Chains A and B, each alone.
Chain A
Amino acid sequence: MLLLGGRVANLIQQNSVFCKVIKSLAVVFAGTFLAVSVESSQISKEQIRGLDEQVQDIKSDVLEISTDLNQLEEKLLYPSGTQVAFFISLVADEDFQLDAVEIELNGKPVAHHIYSFKEQNALINGGVQRVYTGNARTGDHQIKVGFRGKTELGSEFNKVADYTLSKSVGPDFIEIRLVSSSIGSGDVEFIER
């Protein structure tokens, strides 16, 4: 141990020399780092900004394509004469938990959705979810909607409601609004928009 102590003391005495060696090595290594990360050292604020502007431009281009595609899709798949769309909206406290919705059109299931936490919050904060878009002939159509979830008090919530849609010429947009109450007697409203 004494020997070790002596060696350490010597080492420390030579500290300044050692440091010089380390420093010179560091210079050599720093040169290597510079060579390796030549790209990183040259990244300037201007480069970052320039690339950011190009990203903004391409976002704008892609959004235009998306808008054109939305319009094409609507024209091609859901012509205005036959279009039917169902939208879900929610009037509830944050404690209300909407788990799922199921929709039948003329006895056939057409939409089923299980809600994530984010989606539920988006609905509570005024968002409206388009849950189904399709086509229907003019005339009467039966809509059946089932909601499942948990009330503010923690009890199970199940609500089924029916509605007769008189499809006219032109698109029909139905808002299906779930108004929850803490005692679980929530109400479903159908509003033709």
Chain B
Amino acid sequence: MRTLVVSTLLLCAQCFAGDQQDDGALRDMFYGEALFYANQGEFFEAISRLDTELAQHHRVDEPVRDTLYYHVNDAEFSVGDFELSYRMHQKAGRAIKAVIEGDVDPQVRNEAIYRLAKIHFQKEQKLNALHAIERIDGEIPERLESEIEFLKGQIYMVNGKFVDAEGVFQALIGEDGQEAYAEYNLAMSQFAQNENAEAIQTMTRLGKLSSDDRAVLAIKDKANLTLGSRLMEAGEYQAAKVFLERVRLDGPYSNNALLGLGWASVTSDDYKQALVPWSLLRDRHVTDPAVQDALLGVPYAYGKLGLYGQAALGYGRALEATNAELDRLDASIASIKSGNFLKVLVREEIKQDPDWVIKLRELPETPETYYLMDLMASHDFQSSLQNYFDLEQLRVKLEQWLAFYDAYEDLIDIRKAYYEPLLPDLDERFRKLDSLIRLRMEQRDKIYQRLQAMLVVPRPEFLARSEEQLALRSLEAIEKSSRNSDSDTQRRIDRLRGILQWKLAVEYDERLTVTYKNLAALDKDIEKLNEIYNSFVRTRQAATQSYQGYDEQIAALRTKNQRSLDTVEKLMLRQGHMLEAMAVNELQERTQKLEVAQVKARFALAESYDRATMESSESVPENQKSTSSETSAEKDPSLSKVDPLKDRKSDIL
């Protein structure tokens, strides 16, 4: 099948540059059906339908008469595209390489190279991607112009060719649909070359872009956050605030922006101002590290403002949240280890919801998936999870198909049981009818030939009616009889024969016309007879074909199916173990970090209580006051070092 597709890719690429009727209209319904599935993200169905259609197309004697002929070039590329989307890089890559190496139109070749470079880029094979993209030469398809340039810029960036990347992204600014991405990458290229002023200018421009597109708004937020973080790194805290404040409060980057804003205020000792973003942030979902930091940040700010009671309460709340989070992490790890994680993931009804990853966190009594969204941040986890889903889909299909073979065999048995007893008698009757039909056909052919001959040599006697023929035969018999040999009788015979011949000669033309008309009518009947005959032959053939010749095919498919099912199950086990291990690893790391934060919060809580006590002791008698001041944190240098966010600060920036 693959060889077929590859060879077709070569052939099609050669012959399709000018031959197709390229009016854009969809002619092949099955190609349209593949697009219908692909548009819904159901790539297995899309590839399967298109492979079937392509296989049939390559088997037809006259491909030009097949409707797929008009789309075969697109169809071949679509298969490659769908395979890429279905994460079958190897297969897609091989087919695309075959196109590149063939003698093809430059546009087709360049499109193939672009797709190959994209595969390498997606697989993080940066040098291969660079070599591929640099092979693009000559005419390129108009619809892919900006996409090719954008990919080229990205490849230059990952290969450290920032000057080239800058040039590419500069040229892309102003292109519809690419502008925000191009601006962001341009700024990153400029930063990489230490062109900080230009980069800040680019980021600022991007950060002010107005758009309704959610993806563009996210890029805009990312630009503001990146710029804000970089300015904070450079110690320009107040300048950073301007950019951090531009990040939307409900966007994916809002948590880090809020945390950064708090820190920017803290650096200028404006703890009151820091409380604004941090208070907002600490009420958000506690699985986010930024929220966990805000939980400690708020009481830290209260402490700095001298509100130790509030600080103690805040640390208490942080401890409570941290403890709850640690319990949840423990429960998640235990649940994942007991195999529940994989069981929940393959529940079909969950994936009906486009926000299933988020919904899984909200489900009660599902600790195993509580951190799924956070785990999804890792590319390896994401691709492994997707592989697991794909394997589950394959397993379900293969199991369903196993039942199909039994059903097909039952169907074949029923057909066989019905047709086999009927067919011998039917065939016998058909043979008799067939010989009769053949006889009549021969007779018709003889009449036709005779009529054709009569056009050249008229033969009136051939058109004599039966009574006339009888009369002529009687006259001959009388003539031959010895008893009637006298001249008078002979004269009478001649006269009668003459009358008959006269009549035949006079009516010859008329009779010939009538005979031709009758033959034409007969031909119509024969045509109908042939239709019935052919229909019978087809039905007879279909009856046999409906139950003969399937045994080997079904047996082979069943074996292949069972073998594939075994492989899928083995791979699912391995992929599942890998996913569980990745998840447990990640969650254990989180646990360790939280435990550190917990210890810090405990110490900070105690310190706050201590300070709050000290504060209240200021109103007590002098002798007690001095005792309390001796125990105060100010006298103990180690106390001032308890900064719960000290480690985290550098992480954020």
List the interface of chain A (C-beta within 8 A of B). 1-2, 4-9, 11-13, 15-16, 22, 26, 33, 36-37, 39-41, 43, 45, 47-48, 51-72, 75-76, 79, 81-82, 85, 87, 89, 118-119, 121-123, 125-130, 138, 169, 173, 175, 193
Contact = CB atoms under 8 A, between A and B. Distances in A.
Contacts of A58: 391, 394, 564, 567-568, 571
A19 B570 CA distance: 46
Contact of B538 (A11, A51, A70, A169): A169
A110 B442 CA distance: 47
Contacts of A85: 29
Contacts of A75: 545
B584 A51 contact: no
Contacts of A68: 553, 557
A61 to B, nearest CB: 5
Interface stretch (B34-42, B157-165, B194-202): B34-42
A2 B628 contact: yes
B617 interface: yes
B183 to A, nearest CB: 28
Contact of A63 (B28, B47, B89): B47
Contact of A56 (B90, B554, B631, B638): B90
Given A58-B571, A72-B408, A118-B40, A40 B582 contact: yes
Interface in B68-105: 86-91
Contacts of A7: 606
Contacts of A52: 87, 383-384, 387
B564 A87 contact: no
Contact of A8 (B37, B564, B568, B606): B606
A63 B44 contact: yes
B542 interface: yes
A122 B538 CA distance: 39
B577 interface: yes
Nearest to B35: A127
Contacts of B383: 48, 52
Size range of the chain B interface in the assembly: 35 or more
B614 interface: yes
Contacts of A122: 35-37, 39-40
A115 to B, nearest CB: 11
Given A8-B609, A9-B610, A62 B29 contact: no
Interface in B387-439: 387, 390-391, 394, 397-398, 401, 404, 408, 411-412
A127 B397 contact: no
B518 interface: no
Nearest to B641: A15
Contact of B51 (A63, A81, A119, A121): A63
B560 A56 contact: no
B32 A128 contact: yes
B398 A62 contact: yes
B504 to A, nearest CB: 46
Contacts of A57: 90
B628 A5 contact: yes
A128 B394 contact: no
B55 to A, nearest CB: 6
B90 A53 contact: yes
The residue among B48, B411, B538 with the most chain A CB atoms within 10 A of its own CB is B48
A55 B89 CA distance: 11
